[in-house]
Amino acid sequence: MKSGVAPGSSDPLDPGRRATIREVAEAAGVSRSTASRALTGRGYVAQPVRERVREAARTLGYVPDAMARHLRQQASQSIGVLVSDLSNPFYARLASSISQQARKRQYTMMLVDDGGSPGVEVEAAEAFVALRVAGVIVTPVSAEVSSYLTRQRIPVVEVDRQFAAGACDAVIVDNENAARGVTARLLALGHRRIALVIDEMHWTTGRDRLAGYQAAFAAARVPLDPSLIVSAGWDVSAAQHEAHKLLGGSEPPTAVFAANNVLAEAVWRAAAELGIGIPEQLSLVSFDDVPWMSMVRPGVTAVAQDAVALGEAAISQLFDRIQSPAAPVRTVMLSLTVSERESTAPPPA
């Protein structure tokens, strides 16, 4: 009668400490090796023994220690995900989609909301390295993350934005085409003073949306007033202030193309404050379709990014990379659709 545990423990699921495989093996009367084979299903184990071990594990409430397993196997079953702002519905849907896909593949997800800060981003990447994650999906805010993780031999996929073009995989959307499309639509309606409200213009997202906007003007041979390109920053309220200035100015635009959902919200609110009627006095188009755009009246026409598809593409790309680390780097570009609503009309006469 081997003992040593607390006296009178009635519940087998009530150990002072958690059960280890050694205890499972002892309970089943086999060695740790056999117990391990029985539970993982790798290697020879006689049928009755396998069942005895499984039964013992169940009784003891045994849950294998993932740390120990991964340490031995030098590979973990989790992926790291790094997004800019979880409270933005776009990133939330992206994260949700990635979480679901990861679970399907029996991986767990480490998620960090870096709040758009490069410092936090790199810090989180270091934590991922320490945890030896199998791979990382990131919506980058600097070139540092991907290069650091690549140096550390950890597969990375950049999503939405791309900083390390050619150096690591990426899944992005066709920003330029979509931006050109909606801008062209506004031009075709007769608008000439079309403002672009944007956050930044150096990363792929901003750069390409800007490029599409400019390309549409060029194709229509319409001169472009550079003062209509407004850099409005990240914060909703700051952006709202900028939008207020733009719309309330002496020579306001007749249409606005907002480069993301936060900026569209800012423009919408600013227009409401100023009592500017949409679409009679101002046409509005957004990049990134989120629920409120189909709830307000008039509904806001928006370029729809399928965040779920984006997440799925990213994770499938990541697992391809994990499987074949030496395969050539790939950039996947998803095309976009436009959700046509009622926020556009010809400019006021």
Partner DNA sequence: GCTCGATATGGGATCGATCCCATAAGCTGA
Partner DNA sequence: TCAGCTTATGGGATCGATCCCATATCGAGC
Say which residues have a Cβ less than 8 Å from residue 327's Cβ, sequence separation at least 6: 320, 321
User: How many alpha carbons fall within 13 Å on the CB side of residue 76?
Assistant: 22
Do 193 and 225 touch, CB atoms closer than 8 A?
A: yes
Number of residues that bind DNA (CB under 7 A): 31
Could you tell me which of 195, 221, 222 has the C-alpha nearest to residue 210?
195
Choices 63-71, 139-147, 198-206, 235-243 (CB under 7 A): range interacting with DNA: 63-71
Closest to DNA by CB, 91 or 107: 107
Does 150 bind a copy of itself (CB under 8 A)? Our answer is no
Does 214 bind a copy of itself (CB under 8 A)? Our answer is no
Closest to a copy of itself by CB, 123 or 218: 123
Side by side, the strands of the sheet bearing 229-231 are: 229-231, 194-198, 255-258, 283-287, 301-304, 337-339
Does 153 bind DNA (CB under 7 A)? Our answer is no
Q: Give the span between the Cα atoms of 231 and 207, in whole angstroms.
A: 12
Do 217 and 314 touch, CB atoms closer than 8 A?
A: no
112 binds, among a copy of itself, DNA, none (CB under 5 to 8 A by kind): a copy of itself
Number of residues that bind a copy of itself (CB under 8 A): 53
64, 181, 233, 346: which one binds DNA (CB under 7 A)? 64
The alpha carbon dihedral of 167, 173, 179, 180 has a sign of positive
22 binds, among a copy of itself, DNA, none (CB under 5 to 8 A by kind): DNA
The alpha carbon dihedral of 56, 62, 63, 65 has a sign of negative
22, 103, 105, 245: which one binds a copy of itself (CB under 8 A)? 103
Q: Give the span between the Cα atoms of 204 and 119, in whole angstroms.
A: 20
Choices 169-177, 222-230, 294-302, 335-343 (CB under 8 A): range interacting with a copy of itself: 294-302
Closest to a copy of itself by CB, 35 or 109: 109
26, 49, 54, 96: which one binds a copy of itself (CB under 8 A)? 96
5, 13, 71, 188: which one binds DNA (CB under 7 A)? 71
Q: Give the span between the Cα atoms of 36 and 50, in whole angstroms.
A: 10
Smallest gap, in angstroms, from Cβ of residue 131 to a copy of itself? 5
Do 255 and 195 touch, CB atoms closer than 8 A?
A: yes
Choices 119-127, 181-189, 273-281, 327-335 (CB under 8 A): range interacting with a copy of itself: 119-127
Q: Give the span between the Cα atoms of 140 and 53, in whole angstroms.
A: 47
Q: In the complex, which residues of this chain contact a copy of itself (CB under 8 A)? A: 13-14, 18, 61, 63-68, 70-71, 76, 78, 85-87, 89, 92-93, 95-96, 99-100, 103, 108-113, 115, 120, 123-124, 126-127, 129-132, 151-153, 265, 268-269, 272, 291-292, 295-297
